[in-house]
Amino acid sequence: MEKRGAWKRTRLPAASVAWPRRRAVLSGCLGKQKPAGTTKPPPIAANNQSQIPLNTNILTPGARTIVAAYAERRGIAPAQLNEFLNPKLDLAPCVLPDADKVLSRLNHAVAESERVLIFGDYDADGITATSILLRFLDECMSQTPHWSLPNRQTDHYGLDLKKAKSLVCQHRPSLLLCLDCGTNSGEAILWLKQNGVDTIVVDHHPAEDLSTQALAMVNPKAHPESKSDLDDLCAAGLTMVLCHYLAGAWHCLERWDRVAATMLAGLGTLADVVPMTPINRAISKNAITLINTPARRNRITGLAALVPADGQRLTQRRLQFEVIPALNALGRLGSAEPGVTLLTTTNQVVAEEIAGLCLELNEARKAKQQEMTEKAGNLARGVLNDHPDVAVLVLADQSWHHGVAGPAASQIAEKFVRSTILLAPNGLDGQWKGSGRSCNQDDLGGWIRAVKALGLVDRGGGHPGEGTNV
């Protein structure tokens, strides 16, 4: 899918303009009904369902006893066991905060043929979220807006003021959609607003400041007054739920390929290691089933080219340790933008070329990560010999590559049973940049934000456990 210019004028269904306002967040998402008086999008057509039933009758009585005992230890009642093992992905009851504002603003953008820009993130969640939205707009509205991802080597994480100015200079948008970033980009979003650019944020990172200049903040964590099952969705999951809402409003559920969206949202969910809440389990389980069905997997040409061709089942572990790292390698060692092209193109030659690049860069990533992990392990042993009670390991070396700091930190945290942050030169302005992984349920992201508030680091935060940036 190529980057294109301004949106073409499209006639919207009359009902979509008058679509009733939705309440901010529905408490609960799976199998729960909306309160009386609210309106929800039409149900997904049966021929477009991504749920494929899993036959649990093949379990022997002994196996069923073991599964039931294990479920009981996890607090799962016998009546809930079948739903736990066979989660249904029902997006109809799901309502996101500010979704009505997104609908209204996109209606205006289409009607006025505005120039729209999608700005994602350079990790697998950002890549898949961007791909979901691009595919949706192409399928349902025949629109392909400009899109861009930051480069880990030359940009800071997310949307900062410098990047906002660069995007406006390059693309001249009147509407910017930030996916998997933007929640804490107040300075940049204020500047955009002052220069005539509206911003919509679809993100899942904790909000440092609940006040925002964004036109719409589609981030359940930024609306703490409305706790819901959607709080732990990754950006790709949020984007899929948002697309379902828009598809219902625009009466294009039949044209939207929700099967492809589910597979992409599943990859983003597994990549970001978000909590396995009911909706995240449903997304992941359905995605794994679909990816293992060749006819479904082939709906995404690039995904079919990327997965191993060994005929073996693609389990959650294989996806997390083989497929997703290959996709992530693009952003770790270079530009992540080919990843979006990979997941949106229908050109087999292009898909195979980019898939080959993913695999090549992943091998290079493995070598750099192994070198970094070995040296970090030696440094950690030295620190712990001198300070055995240290709670957090903060290690740095001039020779390290910050693009592989996250997975290397994960290995060190697991080996030494301590939250770990690894730092490397950022290659931009003489500062250091790194990633951390937590251990023992430490809120490493919260700690970094607290240190940031003291002025000891320029930027940082992220998830409570995984994926902390410094």
What pLDDT shows up at residue 13? 45
Residue where the block lists tokens 């901010």:
24
| Measured distance CA(163)–CA(178) in Å, rounded | 12
What pLDDT shows up at residue 8? 55
Summarised one tens digit per residue, pLDDT across range 290-336 is: 999 999 999 999 999 999 988 899 999 999 999 999 999 999 999 99
In the chain, what percentage of residues exceed pLDDT 70? Answer: 84
CA 318 to the chain's CA centroid = 19
What pLDDT shows up at residue 139? 95
Rg (CA), the chain: 22
Helix (H, G, I), strand (E, B) or coil at 148: strand
User: Is residue 232 within 8 Å of residue 123, measured between CB atoms?
Assistant: no
Helix (H, G, I), strand (E, B) or coil at 206: coil
Instruction: State both tokens at 172.
Output: 């001249």
What pLDDT shows up at residue 44? 37
Q: Which CATH architecture has domain 92-346?
A: Alpha-Beta Complex (3.90)
User: Which is it for the CA torsion 165, 166, 172, 173, positive or negative?
Assistant: negative
| Measured distance CA(40)–CA(23) in Å, rounded | 11
Backbone angles phi, psi at 205, to 5 degrees: -80, 150
Helix (H, G, I), strand (E, B) or coil at 339: helix
| Measured distance CA(64)–CA(185) in Å, rounded | 50
Sheet hosting strand 432-437, strand order edge to edge:
392-396, 419-425, 432-437, 468-469, 461-462
What pLDDT shows up at residue 38? 45
DSSP string for residues in 185-227: -HHHHHHHHHTT-EEEEE--SPPS-S----SEEE-GGG-TTS-
What pLDDT shows up at residue 42? 43
Instruction: State both tokens at 438.
Output: 């937590």
Residue where the block lists tokens 């597994």:
270
Instruction: State both tokens at 177.
Output: 């959609």
What pLDDT shows up at residue 204? 94
| Measured distance CA(8)–CA(23) in Å, rounded | 30
Region(s) of the chain under CATH 3.10.310.30: 368-469
Summarised one tens digit per residue, pLDDT across range 141-150 is: 888 899 999 9
CA 370 to the chain's CA centroid = 26
Region(s) of the chain under CATH 3.90.1640.30: 92-346
Give 399: exposed, middle or buried? Use CB within 10 Å, 0-12, 13-18, 19+.
exposed
Residues 6 or more apart whose Cβ sits within 8 Å of residue 421: 392, 393, 394, 395, 409, 434, 435, 436, 444, 468, 470
Q: Which CATH architecture has domain 368-469?
A: Roll (3.10)
Residues of the chain with confidence (pLDDT) below 70: 1-60, 428-429, 461-470
Q: At what angle do helices 324-333 and 258-272 cross, to 10 degrees?
A: 70
Question: Exposed e or buried b for every residue in 127-155, given b needs 16+ CB within 10 A?
Answer: bbbbbbbbbbbbbbbebbbbbbbbebbeb
